[in-house]
Amino acid sequence: MSTDRTPDPARQRRRRHVRERQAVIFGVMLGAMAVSAFGAAAVYTGSLSLPFLSHAIASPAPTGLAAANSPCPPEGAVPVAYGEITVNVYNGTNRPGLAGETSTSLSGRGFVIGVQGNASDRGYSGSQEGTALIQFGAQGAAQAYTVAAQFDSPRLVLDDRQDASVDVVVGTAYNALVAAGDVVLTADQPFASPEGCIPMDQVTVVAQPVAPEPTEDPAADPAAVDPAAEG
């Protein structure tokens, strides 16, 4: 008795369907793996930037990075609480009232305001370029960098004062403090060193400015009679 070995057409169709579906699944898997590998390689080499990824792993740029040739912050120095910093504010421009305006802004953030007035009355240049000159002694380096974070690219100078007070001489390029929400300071995170800064032990220390001797005749001193020169 002979047996009919002719394949069942329905069975053949099912097998072909299964093979086709498996081919599609494996093809999709291989394609996904290839895309993932390509993307990972692109991100690793920097060819591809993912905004959400960059936001998650990149630290925001610190504010207040001083101009080149400023003293570097001491290694490991961290920000100081605003209320523990005494700031003297001087007007280094011919814009009247700028020292008072800046003092009010700094005081509003919690800084303690010491002296305020005209830069020339303290022995500084009466015309200061840039946003601000921040001058301090060795004891006030962390305080100075905390204050510097409130300004856009100030210039820092180390002098020989023995206390931790900080002088701010507002310059001609100053418009306002950096927005409080944009100030990048973390209590336990050391300051970033500005590019081109000079290590503290290699900085040439200058003398702390002192107020010039008053003239006997006020009329001989233009700043004494010019209301526009008042801080």
What DSSP letter does each residue of 59-116 carry, written as one string?
PPPPS-PPPTTSBPPPTT-----GGG-EEEEEE-SS-TTHHHHHHHHHHHTTPEEEEE
Q: Do residues 119 and 168 both lie within one domain?
A: yes
- Does residue 93 form part of some domain? yes
Q: Do residues 96 and 187 both lie within one domain?
A: yes
User: DSSP class of residue 54?
Assistant: H
Q: Do residues 50 and 95 both lie within one domain?
A: no
Decide: 11 and 5 in contact? Cβ < 8 Å: no
Q: Do residues 200 and 146 both lie within one domain?
A: yes
Which domain does 19 fall in, by range? Answer: 9-57
Closest CA to 161 of 191, 102, 227, 206: 206
What's the rounded Cα separation, in Å, for the pair 48 and 62?
A: 24
- Does residue 123 form part of some domain? yes
Looking at per-residue pLDDT, the higher value among 178 and 194 belongs to: 178
What's the rounded Cα separation, in Å, for the pair 157 and 166?
A: 10
Tokens of 43: 């991100």
Q: Do residues 136 and 184 both lie within one domain?
A: yes
Q: Do residues 130 and 178 both lie within one domain?
A: yes
Decide: 133 and 99 in contact? Cβ < 8 Å: no
Tell me how far the alpha carbon of residue 117 is from its chain's centroid: 27
Average pLDDT over the chain reads 79
Secondary structure of residue 152 in the 3-state scheme: coil
- Does residue 3 form part of some domain? no
Of 55-64, 75-84, 128-137, 221-230, the poorest mean pLDDT is in 55-64
Q: Do residues 86 and 18 both lie within one domain?
A: no
**Global confidence as pTM:** 0.65
- Does residue 76 form part of some domain? no
Residue 10 has a pLDDT of 65
- Does residue 75 form part of some domain? no
Q: Do residues 94 and 167 both lie within one domain?
A: yes
Q: Do residues 50 and 86 both lie within one domain?
A: no
User: DSSP class of residue 46?
Assistant: T
- Does residue 68 form part of some domain? no
Q: Say whether pLDDT at 43 is over 70.
A: no
What is the number of domains present in the chain? 2
pLDDT confidence bin for 70, thresholds 50/70/90: confident
Q: What angle do CA 168, 174, 179 make, to 5 degrees?
A: 90
Tokens of 72: 């570097």
Q: Do residues 225 and 162 both lie within one domain?
A: yes
Sheet holding 86-91, edge to edge: 112-118, 86-91, 166-170, 132-136, 155-158
Q: Do residues 92 and 46 both lie within one domain?
A: no
Residue 5 has a pLDDT of 56
Looking at per-residue pLDDT, the higher value among 161 and 2 belongs to: 161
Q: Say whether pLDDT at 190 is over 90.
A: yes
Region 191-204: what's the mean pLDDT? 88
Residue with structure tokens 């910093």? 85
- Does residue 2 form part of some domain? no
Closest CA to 106 of 205, 13, 174, 189: 174
Instruction: Identify any residues that bridge with 71 across adjacent strands, giving them in sequence order.
Output: 198
- Does residue 180 form part of some domain? yes
Region 78-105: what's the mean pLDDT? 97
Region 163-169: what's the mean pLDDT? 97
Q: Do residues 159 and 90 both lie within one domain?
A: yes
